[in-house]
Chain A
Amino acid sequence: MISAGIDLGAGTTKVLLYDADLAALGTVSVRTRPDLEATATEALLAACDAAGVRREDIAYVATTGYGRYQIPERDLQITEVTCHARGARHLFPDTRCVLDVGAQSSRAMRVDDRGRVIRFRMNDRCAAGAGKFLERVARALEIPLEELPAVALRSTDPQPISSICAVLAESEVINHISQGKPVEDILMGAHLSIADRVLALLRQVGADGEVALTGGLARNPAMVKALELRLGRPLHHSDHSPFAGALGAALLGQQRLAKRNAGGGA
Chain B
Amino acid sequence: MRTYVAGADVGSTTAKVVILDGEGDIAGTSLGPTGASIVEAAQRRFQEAVKAAGIDEHEVEFVVGTGYGRFKIPFGHTQVTEISCHARGAHHLFPGTRTIVDIGGQDTKAISVNELGDVADFCMNDKCAAGTGRFLESAALTLGLPLEEIGPVSLRAARPLRITNVCTVFVESEIMSHMMKGETVEDILRGVHNAIAGRSISLLRRVGINPEISFTGGVSRNVGMVRALEDQLGLRVNVSPLSQFIGAIGAALFALERARGGKLVAAPVEGGT
Contact = CB atoms under 8 A, between A and B. Distances in A.
B173 interface: yes
B177 A34 contact: yes
Given A177-B36, A178-B36, A126 B180 contact: no
B161 to A, nearest CB: 16
Given A34-B180, A35-B180, A168 B129 contact: yes
A175 B12 CA distance: 11
Contacts, number: 56
A44 B176 CA distance: 24
Contacts of A167: 128-129, 134-135, 138, 168-169
B37 interface: yes
Interface in B124-182: 126-130, 134-135, 138, 165-170, 173, 176-177, 179-180
B167 A125 contact: yes
Interface string B99-128: 000000010000000000000000000111
A187 to B, nearest CB: 18
Given A125-B167, A171-B12, A165 B176 contact: no
A35 B179 CA distance: 11
A171 B33 CA distance: 13
A31 B37 CA distance: 37
Interface residues of A, number: 20
A68 interface: no
A171 B106 contact: yes
Contacts of A127: 167-170
A132 B145 CA distance: 23
B129 A165 contact: yes
Contact of A126 (B36, B167, B176, B177): B167
Contacts of B134: 167-168
Contacts of A171: 12, 106
Given A167-B129, A168-B129, A136 B12 contact: no
A197 B254 CA distance: 41
A196 to B, nearest CB: 15
A217 to B, nearest CB: 15
Nearest to B172: A132
11 contacts: A35-B180, A125-B167, A126-B128, A166-B169, A168-B106, A168-B127, A168-B128, A171-B12, A174-B36, A175-B36, A178-B36
- Please provide the 3 A-B residue pairs with the shortest distance between their CB atoms, ordered closest to farther: A167-B129, A127-B169, A178-B36
